Structure 1
Amino acid sequence: MSDGEPAELDVVRRLHALTDLVTPMALRTFVSLGLPDHLRDRPGTAAELAQLTSCNARILTGILEHLASREVVRAGPGGRYTLTALGRAACSTPAPSPQSWLVDSLRLGTLTGDVNHSVVALLDVVRSGRTGLEEHHGEPVWSRVARMDLDQTRTLFGHRTPVVEFGPIEKLVRAYAPRTVCDLGAGTGRLARELLTRRLCSHCHVVDLEPMISLADEMLDDIDHRSYSLHEADFMTDPLPAADLYVLCDILADWPDDDAIHLLGVVRKAAGVRPAVLVTQLILPGGAGDLFDPTAGRVRLDIEMARPARTVEEICALGAAAGLRVVSTEAAQHRSAVLLESESATP
């Protein structure tokens, strides 16, 4: 508080600092235009940067002046801007790293950036229970993915990372001993890869939207092509291939209860004489949505995902609502797994 400044004005000033949206939007615009990468190579004036990015020079000047006041850039001789140490943290960098995570989350117009920016829809989210992307952009995340080309999908999802804590999945699949498995919402194909390389099934149907199927094809390229088949499909509406076991790995977190029950019902009807479903999901800590701020991370997860942290009991309840009974469950530190079977199946 400045000398002679009323205490209540200091409180208002602090609240303003917490609520002001100009600085975060200026930073997101700065990153979305690629200005940190331009300034990393050499200083530039507002006019030069506006020409490089096809922007309005007058408005861009105001943005740069504001970011200079926040020590993101520094104005030098001739009105040429350079990056500060803080500004250099906004430059592109090879993934994965904390800096790449942050920069990707700031780029408006990309899926990651728009999902992150959808926090502005929090009032609507808390009222409706829908995700921020649905409230702010009018569509769920997978509708957006379906319009991406392969290069965009590869950049966003193409890291060859294993399934987190595969143990609970492996234990239940081995016990059930299916010949064929259908991996619903297969994503990059990493679960199918684990199933096939560990010989947990003889054939795996890989089901997802295009372009995720193309990405899965790349992931499985070195595996015997006779052991898997690729199916471009919307698993909520399209016919599903017959299999002994259907696996939903980290899928139901994207869907509210009614849709999750519908999907389990679709799978039950698609299965053969012994319908079985394995639902497995990450056990997400409350602050997993943010690297640096756990309380913000919990809010962010609830904005980005329909149901990010269902318990085993809640998954069992969804199964019961879809006509499936619990066969067995497994849980480890970071993953739970529930094996469900049709109530009409022979125990």
Structure 2
Amino acid sequence: MASAQHDTAELSARLSEHMNGYLYTASLYTVTRANVADKLAEGPLTPMQLGESTGLNGPHLRRLMRYLATREVFREDAEGRFHLTPMAELLREGVPGSLRDSFLMMGEDLYWKPIAKLHETVRSGHTAFDDIFGAQFFPYLQSQPELASLFNRGAAGFSRLWAQSVADTYPFPVGSKVVDVGGGTGGLLRAVLAANPTVTGVLYDQESVIPEHQLDTPELEGRWSAQAGDFFQTVPQGADYYLLKSVLHDWSDEDCLRILKAVRSGMRKGSKLLVVDPVIPPGNEPDASKTIDVMMMVVHDGKERTQGEFTDILAKGGFKVARVLPTDSLMSIVEAEVA
């Protein structure tokens, strides 16, 4: 009996920690918004010193950072000063692998409010985003330029985590032309072109996104162009490869079929489609794709997909899967041909 009570107590403690998980996200957003990690870049500081330089209340900030230190974000020493940790380093602006803009993006009402209505999404089978903001996610962003710019930067931060892995994994033939459909600020296309000096590319996205591209570097000069358009309607014609990176997961099956139809109409004989998304593995083991899947459900009415679900949706869109290439990141490459 004592052992059973001990097990129940331990499980209760673990479950209670899960219950408070949203505090972790809010805490990370708070210190990121205040640039705490950047303030610590030159050395450890006390919470009072940090409070003076960030405008935050020192005693409250100490409690917040003490909590984050339990997750290896910051470290408190015996003198009560806080230090950067390797994890906290990634909250700094402009460092390799920085997720600063991604955390700022995820801390906006854009995500918080729909997440708070998760129960309604699961009840109705549709995101509550439209009811909260009066429009779907991407049309709403078009009406909010500053928020849209933050989203573009935040999405680019996530993209940097896997763009190089994707570029290094897929063997693009010499002289091929690639269209990055819905390519955002062009992080993946930049990695592909840098890894393949004979390949040329087109960045294709909404007109409001194109000006924030990352392609204007000397090593890529003369090998890329940018084109604005609506991937529900049309795509640039006649390329060798069409990339859909983190696109299909934003949309329902019905909307994905509209995108696939547009891409298929732009392809020539021999063209290939490369879908770059997580592929959900079977089983109960933790996997980031399962977390992102719920986020897509909450905010977009989108979804991550299993290999079988990719095969099915691509077949309905007029494609056949040739192979699935895992990378050393979260992403896989689903290579498809016109059926």
Range of TM-score over shorter length: 0.5 to 0.7
Rate the CA distance shift 1:9–1:184 in 2: closer, same or farther, 3 A. closer
8 Å contact from structure 1 (residues 283, 333) kept in 2: no
8 Å contact from structure 2 (residues 249, 303) kept in 1: yes
1:111 corresponds in structure 2 to 105
Shift of 1:113: 5.0
- Alignment partner of 1:295 is 2:303: no
1:265 corresponds in structure 2 to 261
Rate the CA distance shift 1:303–1:121 in 2: closer, same or farther, 3 A. farther
1:215 corresponds in structure 2 to 213
Paired residue secondary structure (1:230) = strand
Q: For 1:139-198, what per-residue CA distance to the aligned partner results, in whole angstroms no more than 9, with x for missing partners?
A: 64797597217994797356895352666664xx79xx98x6533123322376279734
8 Å contact from structure 2 (residues 179, 241) kept in 1: yes
Counterpart Cα distance in 1 of 2:195 and 2:127: 31
Counterpart Cα distance in 2 of 1:232 and 1:84: 45
Query: What do you get for the CA RMSD once the two structures are aligned?
Result: 5.1
8 Å contact from structure 2 (residues 190, 215) kept in 1: no
- Alignment partner of 1:64 is 2:62: yes
| Residue in structure 2 matching 1:231, options 227, 233, 236 | 227
Q: For 1:44-64, what per-residue CA distance to the aligned partner results, in whole angstroms no more than 9, with x for missing partners?
A: 42xx65554345x4xx64453
- Alignment partner of 1:340 is 2:335: no
Paired residue secondary structure (2:164) = coil
8 Å contact from structure 2 (residues 47, 81) kept in 1: yes
2:33 corresponds in structure 1 to 32
Shift of 1:222: 3.1
1:254 corresponds in structure 2 to 250
Paired residue secondary structure (2:231) = coil
1:197 corresponds in structure 2 to 197
Counterpart Cα distance in 2 of 1:169 and 1:340: 19
Paired residue secondary structure (1:30) = helix
8 Å contact from structure 1 (residues 183, 191) kept in 2: no
Q: For 1:57-80, what per-residue CA distance to the aligned partner results, in whole angstroms no more than 9, with x for missing partners?
A: 4xx644534654786676999xxx
The amino acid of 2:179's aligned partner reads: C
8 Å contact from structure 1 (residues 182, 246) kept in 2: yes
Shift of 1:19: 1.4
The amino acid of 1:314's aligned partner reads: E
Counterpart Cα distance in 2 of 1:304 and 1:51: 36
* 1:294-313 alignment runs, 5 A limit: 295=286, 297-305=288-296, 306-311=302-307, 313=308
Paired residue secondary structure (1:260) = helix
Structure 2: tracts of 5 or more residues without a match: 297-301, 328-332
Q: For 1:192-242, what per-residue CA distance to the aligned partner results, in whole angstroms no more than 9, with x for missing partners?
A: 62797345xxx64331245456535325x43462x54320233225x5332
Paired residue secondary structure (1:243) = coil
TM-score (norm 2): 0.62
* 1:7-18 alignment runs, 5 A limit: 15-18=15-18
Shift of 1:136: 8.4
* 1:104-253 alignment runs, 5 A limit: 107=103, 110-111=104-105, 122-124=118-120, 126-127=122-123, 140=137, 147-148=148-149, 152=153, 156=157, 161-162=163-164, 164=166, 170=172, 181-186=178-183, 187-188=186-187, 189-190=189-190, 193=193, 197-198=197-198, 204-209=201-206, 210-212=208-210, 214-218=212-216, 221-223=218-220, 225=222, 228-237=224-233, 239-245=234-240, 247-250=242-245, 251-253=247-249
8 Å contact from structure 1 (residues 160, 190) kept in 2: no
| Residue in structure 1 matching 2:313, options 299, 318, 327 | 318
8 Å contact from structure 1 (residues 181, 244) kept in 2: yes
The amino acid of 1:302's aligned partner reads: D
The amino acid of 1:162's aligned partner reads: Q
Counterpart Cα distance in 2 of 1:336 and 1:116: 28
Rate the CA distance shift 1:152–1:12 in 2: closer, same or farther, 3 A. closer
Q: Which protein shows a greater Rg?
A: 1
Shift of 1:294: 5.7
Shift of 1:129: 5.9
Counterpart Cα distance in 2 of 1:223 and 1:74: 44
8 Å contact from structure 1 (residues 185, 207) kept in 2: yes
Percentage identity across aligned positions?
Answer: 15
Q: For 1:250-273, what per-residue CA distance to the aligned partner results, in whole angstroms no more than 9, with x for missing partners?
A: 23233221111011122344557x
Counterpart Cα distance in 2 of 1:127 and 1:9: 31
Rate the CA distance shift 1:150–1:198 in 2: closer, same or farther, 3 A. farther
8 Å contact from structure 1 (residues 268, 276) kept in 2: no
Structure 1: tracts of 5 or more residues without a match: 288-292, 342-347
Paired residue secondary structure (1:218) = coil
